[in-house]
Amino acid sequence: MDDPASNASGATGSGPIPKAVASRLSLYLRELQHLIEQGEETTSSSELGRKLGFTDAQVRKDLAYFGHFGYPGIGYRCDKLVGAIKKILGTDQQWHAVLVGAGNLGRALLGYKGFQRQGFRVVAAFDTDASKVGSQIEGVAVVHLDQLTEFAKANRVRLGIIAVPAPAAQAVANRLVAAGVEGILNFAPVTIELPDTVRQVGVDLAIELEQLSFAIVTRGEPPTG
Amino acid sequence: MDDPASNASGATGSGPIPKAVASRLSLYLRELQHLIEQGEETTSSSELGRKLGFTDAQVRKDLAYFGHFGYPGIGYRCDKLVGAIKKILGTDQQWHAVLVGAGNLGRALLGYKGFQRQGFRVVAAFDTDASKVGSQIEGVAVVHLDQLTEFAKANRVRLGIIAVPAPAAQAVANRLVAAGVEGILNFAPVTIELPDTVRQVGVDLAIELEQLSFAIVTRGEPPTG
DNA sequence: TAGATTGTTAATCGATTAACAATC
DNA sequence: TAGATTGTTAATCGATTAACAATC
C-alpha cells in the first residue's frame, strides 16, 4: 500500500469497531478538531493520549482499527484522521433530527451550536402545547406532535430527540418509531422500549451527577474498572 | 449472617465496585424507584434485566458486589436495594452543587427536577454577565463569578456544574477547583485538565448524537463490545 | 544518519455469561 | 413440598498494556 491514508473505511482487518473504541473516537475527533483550529497539522498518539487521559498504546490501537493513518517518526495528519473518524461515526453525512418537547431542556437543545458543527441538524421541534405550536425557537419551527409522521417522511428525518417529562417518554418514542426514525436520543429519565431495529442512546442528567458522587466517595479506593 | 440485608456497605468480599458496575447501579436505582412508585415491593434479577437489557446473571453479580440483598425464591426487596445502592453511590447524603453559566443550558439545568429527587441541590448559579447577576432563575440566585470561592466555602459546596461556552471552560474549572469543589460535571465540549484530587464527568451532547449515528451505521454489523 | 513514532504481537487484566448447588 | 430465584464458581470473552521491529 503506497498511500497509507487511502484506506479509510476498508479497515486493517480487525473487523467491526468495538463499542469501547467508538466512544473514544468521538473524543479523538473533538480533540483533533481543536488542534486543527489551533493550526496544528499533525499530532501523535502520545499527545492525544496525554490530552485525553489514555495511554499512547491505546490511542494507536484504536486508530489502527480502521486504517493506516500514521507515519512512523511523524505521527498522524489531523485532517486525514478527522475525515476517517467522521466516516466511521457516520458524521461525514448530515443527519436530520427532530426534537420532541419544547420545554426548558428542549429550548436549550435547540440553541445548542455543537449539533450543527458535528453534522446534525434539528429541522423541527414538536410539542402538544397549543401556546407553543406555531412559534419559532432559535429559528426552528414548533409543530404539533400530530404532524410528526407526515413531517418526518417529507424531510428525511432519521433521528429523534426526546426532551419530554418521563411519563410521556414511551408514548413519544412510539410515535417516533412510527414516524420512521432510525435512532432516538432520550433525555427523559426513564427506560424506553424500542423495536431492535431502532437504536437508542440515553442521557440522564441526574445519573451523570450520581456517577460523579460515586467517583468522589470512592476516591482513594479507586474502582477496578 | 441472619439478616441478609444488614450488610449494606460491608461488601461481600469482592472489594471495590468496578466502574462498569457503578454505571449500571444508577440504572438499577432508577428502575427500582420506578417500581416502588408503581407499588411493587419486590423484584427479581430477571425482571430488572429484562427492563434494562442486561442478563439476569449480570444483575445478580452486580448486586452481590455490595451485600446479600436477595432472597432465593423471592427476589429483592425494592426499598432495601434502593437504600443500599444510594449508599454505594453516595446519594444517601445530600450534595450541594453550584452551576456556572446561566445561558440556555444552564437555565434548563436549574429547572431540572431530577437533580433534587436524586439528592443533589443546586444552591447558586454563577455568571459574569451583569444583566444576569442579581436575578433569580427557577428560584436560584445568580451570583457574580468573582464571589464563587467565598460562596462555596460558606455553603458546603462540593460539586460544580460547568455550562459555559467551550473557550471559557478551563478557566471556570480552575476557579471551581480553587473554590474547593471535589467534582465537576462538565457540559462544555472540551477536555479540561484538573488536579487528580478532583473528579470529573463530561457530558458532550454532540458526542451522544455521534454515538447514536455510529450505532445506526453499524447496524446489522454489530460492534464487538 | 539518528531520533521519533507507528502498527502489531503477546501478555495481562477485567467483565460477562452459563450453570448449578443452596435455599426461601 | 415444589417452584422460583439467589449467590457464586468456572469458563469465556473482550479490552488494555507493554514491548519492539519496522520505518518515516
What local confidence, expressed as pLDDT, does residue B207 receive?
Answer: 98
B190 in contact with chain A, both atoms CB, cutoff 8 A: yes
So what CATH class is B95-208? alpha beta
> At residue A4, does pLDDT exceed 50?
no
What local confidence, expressed as pLDDT, does residue B166 receive?
Answer: 97
Confidence band for A220, pLDDT divided at 50, 70 and 90: confident
Summary mean pLDDT of chain A: 93
Q: What is the pairing mode between strands B140-144 and B70-71?
A: unpaired
Cβ separation of B210 and A112 shorter than 8 Å? Answer: no
> Nearest CA to CA, how far is B157 from chain A (Å)?
13
SS3 string, chain A, reads: CCCCCCCCCCCCCCCCCCHHHHHHHHHHHHHHHHHHHCCCCEECHHHHHHHHCCCHHHHHHHHHCCCCCEECCCEEEHHHHHHHHHHHHCCCCCEEEEEECCCHHHHHHHCCCHHHHCCEEEEEEEECCCCCCCCEECCEEEEEHHHHHHHHHHCCEEEEEECCCHHHHHHHHHHHHHCCCCEEEECCCCCCCCCCCCEEEECCHHHHHHHHHHHHHCCCCCCCC
d(CA B76, CA B40): 11
d(CA B64, CA B57): 11
> At residue A31, does pLDDT exceed 70?
yes
> At residue A11, does pLDDT exceed 90?
no
Residue with cell 420545554: A103
Residue B8 grid coordinates: 449494606
CA dihedral A95, A96, A99, A105 (to 10 degrees): 40
Confidence band for A224, pLDDT divided at 50, 70 and 90: low
Angle between the N-to-C axes of helices B19-37 and A205-217, in degrees from 0 to 180, rounded to the nearest 10: 130
d(CA B58, CA B63): 9
Which amino acid is present at A162? I
Q: What is the pairing mode between strands A140-144 and A157-162?
A: unpaired
b/e code B173-202 from CB counts within 10 Å (16+ = b): bebbbebebbbbbbbbbbbbebeeebbbbb
Residues pairing with A71 in the sheet:
A75
For B205, counting Cβ atoms within 10 Å of its Cβ (0-12 exposed, 13-18 middle, 19+ buried), the class is: buried
Given A107, A219, A225, which is nearest B18 (Cβ)? A225
> At residue A30, does pLDDT exceed 90?
yes
d(CA B222, CA B225): 9
Mutation target for A interface from B96, B157, B212: give the one with most A CBs within 10 A.
B212
Q: Is B185 within 8 Å of B159 (Cβ atoms)?
A: yes
What local confidence, expressed as pLDDT, does residue B10 receive?
Answer: 33
Distance from residue B3's CA to nucleotide C20's C1', rounded to whole Å: 24
What local confidence, expressed as pLDDT, does residue A1 receive?
Answer: 34
What local confidence, expressed as pLDDT, does residue A12 receive?
Answer: 42
> Nearest CA to CA, how far is B210 from chain A (Å)?
6
> Which of chain B's residues have a Cβ under 8 Å away from the Cβ of A109?
205
The boundaries of every CATH 3.40.50.720 domain in chain B are 95-208
> Which of chain A's residues have a Cβ under 8 Å away from the Cβ of B120?
206, 209, 213
Task: Write down the H helix ranges in chain B.
Answer: 19-37, 45-52, 56-64, 78-89, 104-110, 113-117, 148-154, 166-178, 205-217
Is there contact between A19 and strand C, defined as CB under 7 Å from any strand atom? Answer: no
What local confidence, expressed as pLDDT, does residue B17 receive?
Answer: 94
Q: Is B76 within 8 Å of A83 (Cβ atoms)?
A: no
pLDDT-above-70 percentage for chain A: 92
> Which of chain B's residues have a Cβ under 8 Å away from the Cβ of A97?
209
Q: Is A184 within 8 Å of A178 (Cβ atoms)?
A: no
Q: Which nucleotides of D are covered by protein (CB under 7 A)?
A: 2-9, 14-19, 22-24
d(CA A78, CA A165): 41
CA distances for A127 relative to A145, B135, B209, angstroms: 5, 29, 21
Residue B34 grid coordinates: 420506578
What local confidence, expressed as pLDDT, does residue A223 receive?
Answer: 66
> Which of chain A's residues have a Cβ under 8 Å away from the Cβ of B22?
211, 214, 218, 223, 225
The boundaries of every CATH 1.10.10.10 domain in chain A are 19-89
A38 in contact with chain B, both atoms CB, cutoff 8 A: no
* Minimum mean pLDDT range among A6-20, A160-174, B76-90: A6-20
Residues pairing with A96 in the sheet:
A121, A157
- Other CB atoms within 10 Å distance of the CB of residue B124: 20
At a 7 A CB cut-off, the residues bordering strand D are: A 18-21, 54-55, 57-58, 60-61, 71-74; B 4, 12, 44-46, 56-57, 60-61, 63-64, 68-76, 223-225
Cβ separation of B209 and A88 shorter than 8 Å? Answer: no
* Backbone φ, ψ for residue A156 (5° rounding): 50, 45
Instruction: Write the pLDDT tens digit of every residue in A55-112.
Output: 999 999 999 999 999 999 999 999 999 999 999 999 999 999 999 999 999 999 999 9
Q: Is B212 within 8 Å of A201 (Cβ atoms)?
A: yes
> Nearest CA to CA, how far is A137 from chain B (Å)?
12
Mean per-residue pLDDT, A185-211: 97
d(CA A87, CA A104): 33
Give chain B's residues under pLDDT 70.
1-14, 222-225
d(CA B2, CA B19): 30
Residue B72 grid coordinates: 432465593
Radius of gyration of chain B (CA): 20
Radius of gyration of chain A (CA): 20
Is there contact between A133 and strand C, defined as CB under 7 Å from any strand atom? Answer: no
Which architecture, in CATH terms, is A19-89?
Orthogonal Bundle (1.10)
Task: Give the max Cα distance, chain B.
Answer: 62
B224 in contact with chain A, both atoms CB, cutoff 8 A: yes
Question: Residue A17's closest chain B neighbor by CA?
Answer: B223
A22 in contact with chain B, both atoms CB, cutoff 8 A: yes
Cβ separation of B210 and A117 shorter than 8 Å? Answer: no
Distance from residue A91's CA to nucleotide D5's C1', rounded to whole Å: 46
